[in-house]
Amino acid sequence: MKLFGDIYRGRKVLLTGHTGFKGSWLAAWLTQLGAEVTGFALAPSTSPAHWSLIDTSATDITGDIRDAQLVQDVIDRVQPDIVFHLAAQALVRRSYREPLDSWSTNVMGTANILEACRATASVRAVVVITTDKVYENNEWPWGYREVDRLGGHDPYSASKAASELVVDSYRKSFWSRDDAPLLASARAGNVIGGGDWSEDRLVPDLVRAVAAGVSLEIRSPQSTRPWQHVLDCLSGYLLLGQRLLSGDRAAAVAWNFGPAPDDNRTVAEVLKGLQTHWEQLTWHSANVVQPHEANLLYLDCSKAHAQLSWRPVWTITKSLAMTAQWYKYHHSTGTVITDQQLQHYFEAARDAGCVWVEA
């Protein structure tokens, strides 16, 4: 199969945040596409860590995106064609404990990346990853569109909304010429899949509870989120990168990448779905007051459907099955099936007629 028009083969790609959950999956995928990948991030914050378990040819550089000189040195060394910026402080509850860490990483870290790219002639495209939580949440029963107002209650959400303003400012102030690099942002929802061991996230917390032989305490079982498999949002990022590298200036804007509307689920429904594939999973509801988090959140992805011809490949049912399969395999063997699941996803995308797959 030929993926994304083979546009990444031989390309120099800088991937920030490659040691994280989404970043490690994207590193694995990009190397399979034939890209020369350099990752720049802090060392993995968990043990085990997906990045440490996968076999990839990506170059690993450890560092902090808040260090502007180091960021410039790395980009000078790599001379990338495209940058995927995923490095972030991505946890809501940690942002309440350490708000300045979220603001400095998500806002100034993004500014450092863009400023270094501005000074580097090789860079032709930049994709900045933010979150569905950049929107001012009104608990609407319909999806947020890219033109809706930005906001954020907690420091994580607000700092990510602010990073969107940084992106928009750089695009308008420095990259508005016809020959300038193309800059886009991507907003995805609650991503699931094997290899996530972050704190205060539903699936990793559940996997840790199984390993410890205890029931997991759930904070908000009726909260609704746009759950999707990690490979579905990454396919959107890569398709967006393809369009930018091809010189499509219309793609240099903000994009939502979320599941089909029918696949939005409550926390309780996700837990029940996982349990059908892993009977040892057990949980109970918490009875203590929790820090504020949005209760109802949907994404409207009609723009990505219409203008990029992007569609999610796996339903929530399939995503939960693949997530449980990945963790069960690792739980029993200590090894991973990341490459096998990538191939399974490619085949499913081909069968679904996805625009980024050529048989």
Q: What pLDDT shows up at residue 288?
A: 60
Is 164 within a domain?
A: yes
For 216-230, how does the pLDDT look when each residue is reduced to its tens digit (9 = 90+)? 888 778 887 778 999
Q: Which range has the worst mean pLDDT, 241-245, 286-290, 351-355?
A: 286-290
58 or 205: which carries more pLDDT confidence? 58
Is 3 within a domain?
A: no
Q: What range defines the domain where residue 134 resides?
A: 10-191+229-262+296-315
Q: Which range has the worst mean pLDDT, 33-42, 274-283, 341-350?
A: 274-283
Taking 60 as the threshold, does the pLDDT of residue 142 lie above it? yes
Is the CB of residue 33 less than 8 Å from the CB of residue 9? yes
Is 50 within a domain?
A: yes
Mean pLDDT confidence for 313-320: 95
Query: Average pLDDT of the chain?
Result: 93
First to last CA, the chain: 5
Is 37 within a domain?
A: yes
Mean pLDDT confidence for 208-213: 87
Q: What pLDDT shows up at residue 327?
A: 94
For 68-102, how does the pLDDT look when each residue is reduced to its tens digit (9 = 90+)? 999 999 999 999 999 999 999 988 889 999 999 99
Q: What pLDDT shows up at residue 353?
A: 97
Q: Which range has the worst mean pLDDT, 201-205, 254-258, 313-317?
A: 201-205
Q: What pLDDT shows up at residue 52?
A: 96
Maximum C-alpha span of the chain: 58
9 or 297: which carries more pLDDT confidence? 9
Is 268 within a domain?
A: no
Mean pLDDT confidence for 271-286: 84
pTM of the model: 0.94
Q: What pLDDT shows up at residue 221?
A: 81
Is 42 within a domain?
A: yes
What share of the chain in percent tops pLDDT 70?
A: 97
What backbone phi and psi angles, to 5 degrees, belong to 147?
Answer: -90, -5
For 101-119, how does the pLDDT look when each residue is reduced to its tens digit (9 = 90+)? 999 999 999 999 999 999 9
**CATH code at position 148:** 3.40.50.720
Per-residue pLDDT band at 291 (split at 50, 70, 90) = low
Per-residue pLDDT band at 279 (split at 50, 70, 90) = confident
Is 257 within a domain?
A: yes
Taking 80 as the threshold, does the pLDDT of residue 176 lie above it? yes
Mean pLDDT confidence for 33-41: 98
Mean pLDDT confidence for 286-309: 78
Q: What pLDDT shows up at residue 131?
A: 93
Mean pLDDT confidence for 51-70: 97
Q: Give the span between the Cα atoms of 237 and 262, in whole angstroms.
A: 22
183 or 93: which carries more pLDDT confidence? 183
Q: How many domains is the chain built from? A: 1
Is 272 within a domain?
A: no
Q: Which range has the worst mean pLDDT, 3-12, 118-127, 190-199?
A: 190-199
Taking 90 as the threshold, does the pLDDT of residue 263 lie above it? no
Mean pLDDT confidence for 131-149: 90
Q: What pLDDT shows up at residue 287?
A: 65
Q: Give the span between the Cα atoms of 345 and 142, in whole angstroms.
A: 29
For residue 266, give the nearest of 236, 292, 216, 227 by alpha carbon. 227
